[in-house]
Amino acid sequence: PASQKRKGFEKSHCHHVTSNGNSNQIPSPNTRKPPKGRTEGNSASQFAPHTTAALPRYRTKNASLVQDTSRPRLTQYRIHESDSHLKTHPKSIHGSGSPPLLCALENKTSISRPSPARNLPASYYTYRPAAPIKPFIGPPPLASFQSKLRTMGTKKSTVALALLVLALSSLPRACLAVTSPYVRPRPRATLSLRRDADAGGQTPQQVHVSAVGPDKMRVTWITDDDAPAMVDYGTASGQYPFSATGTTADYSYLMYHSGNIHDAVVGPLKPSTTYYYRCSSDPSREFSFRTPPSGLPFTFVIAGDLGQTEWTNSTLQHIAAADYDMLLLPGDLSYADLDQPRWDSYGRLVEPLASARPWMVTEGNHEVEKIPLLERHPFKAYNARWRMPYDAGASPSGSNLYYSFDAAGGAVHVIMLGSYTDYDAGTAQHTWLQGDLAGVDRGKTPFVVALVHAPWYNSNKAHQGEGDGMRDAMEALLYGARVDAVFAGHVHAYERFARVYGDKEDQCGPVYVTIGDGGNREGLAEKYIEPQPKTSVFREASFGHGRLQVVNVTHALWTWHRNDDDEPVVADQTWITSLAPNPACKK
């Protein structure tokens, strides 16, 4: 039914990556519909073992999976209205995990379609998170999965389903690499958000928050006129029993002069608690944020190269449509590119989300903004507007361009690296990274992830080799520390690699993901190197965002959501297991 299509009951690519680098993958033919009499070329060989001709329909007592071709470009799967068992009791099928065969049934109810807001209606500026996604706690062993199958229906359907599982899981590795032939929609217009006409000189604008240590938050905002750098806050709307005073700064760039940039650190705060706050004691605008949880599960949103276009707006709406705890951005924020008022427009665009959840960012090439002779100091606007906790925690870096922090009560260590500052051996960043990684106790911190801007692995023709120098200098450090995943931006497309080290698959290397597809004005990087490298698992040039849901100390669920005509569609999904307990990766 149309109502189900709108809620994103679609699945195009799903598999489970274990700590040894192997995959149990079920790519489904989520491709454009070919003209009559013509096949899809390269995709035919990739998807031949999984074609719907071989599996037009399968049914158990309580569930069915059918092909849905009601949309012309995509081959989808949908769940029948009659299958209420699937909607209300997902664990009765998934057990404690996500069996490979049934991954096409995941995310049945977790995504709702946001209303289109190309002209930014007033409703866009109210943050209304959906109900939290209920995580699946890791993939179960085969025996447990077989046990679940026996409870799902008749003996005949159980046997058929079990045989299908064995057939799919025995497919050769070669069929797992996917270059998506999805037809991308056209580019969209650049947005420019101006200051509200009724805003006064002391009205706070461009408000965003970031985490500082385990129980504090930094609130940053801008006023046109002088105003106190004070945040009043409390746990009830309109009541602010606590206050914190911070600092005020500004900057000039060519003929531009910024407003007053204030920031104040509030806390200590309780975990998983909503706080209401106002800035500069201004009563006209009340904001609220929710503090991250102090343990697992913990959900990160990861989106790079956002910019400020109508595609950016679509990405932001998709992010807001499902709950999360923290956003990570691997560089290229505003795409101001020397035009400083674009920084103000960007701050207004992201404020509804960035004022409600902590945003942790690192710099990209579009933040450099250095002009020989005229503007000799790079990152002037970025450092003034987006101050990160580089001087907090157990491993202060001394630079806003790279830092680290802990999340989920120390269960996840996040490293934000700087692609556009010195990184070779002997430099400040390299020395700091060595010490930071050495201080991580993997017995207490099961997951370590890193973010960079320029990808270290990339099979897109865009920006080829631009991350190689940093990879040569730092890859061995991350590998030696058994970092679980590395996320990058820069390339305006999506790509996920297997566990890699030294350009080869390695069961103890990180999973590498490029996610520079937030919606920037430069458009998508659509040309890939052929043939697809063996280390590249899935690649697609589309806008979107990702979610890393660390569900327990051993498993994290990574999902990439494509922006498909204003609907978030899960196009790639995989389980990432922690390397910390893997005996093969013990040092």
* Catalytic positions: 463
Beta-bridge partner residues of 555: 577
Contact 92, 73 (CB under 8 A): no
Q: State the distance between the two ends of the chain, measured CA to CA, in whole angstroms.
A: 53
**Measuring CA to CA, which residue among 568, 518, 562 is closest to residue 307?**
518
CA distance 512 to 487: 6
Beta-bridge partner residues of 557: 549, 575
CA distance 325 to 323: 7
Beta-bridge partner residues of 577: 555
Element (H, E) at 150: helix 142-150
In three-state secondary structure terms, 146 is helix
| C-alpha torsion angle, residues 30, 33, 38, 41 (rounded to 10) | -30
Long-range CB contact pairs, 282-289, < 8 A, 24+: 282/200, 282/202, 282/203, 282/204, 282/227, 284/200, 284/203, 285/203, 285/204, 286/237, 286/238, 287/207, 287/355, 287/356, 288/127, 288/237, 288/355, 288/356, 289/209, 289/217, 289/355, 289/356, 289/357, 289/358
Burial class from Cβ neighbours inside 10 Å (0-12, 13-18, 19+) for residue 501 reads: middle
- The separation between CA 112 and the C-alpha centre of its own chain, rounded to angstroms, equals 17
CA distance 189 to 119: 11
Contact 292, 358 (CB under 8 A): yes
- The separation between CA 420 and the C-alpha centre of its own chain, rounded to angstroms, equals 22
How many CA atoms, within 13 angstroms, populate the side-chain half-sphere of residue 222?
21
How many CA atoms, within 13 angstroms, populate the side-chain half-sphere of residue 153?
16
**Measuring CA to CA, which residue among 65, 115, 131, 57 is closest to residue 93?**
65
Contact 46, 25 (CB under 8 A): no
Q: How far is CA 471 from CA 74, 200, 476, 528, in A?
A: 37, 48, 8, 21
For 583, which DSSP code?
Answer: G
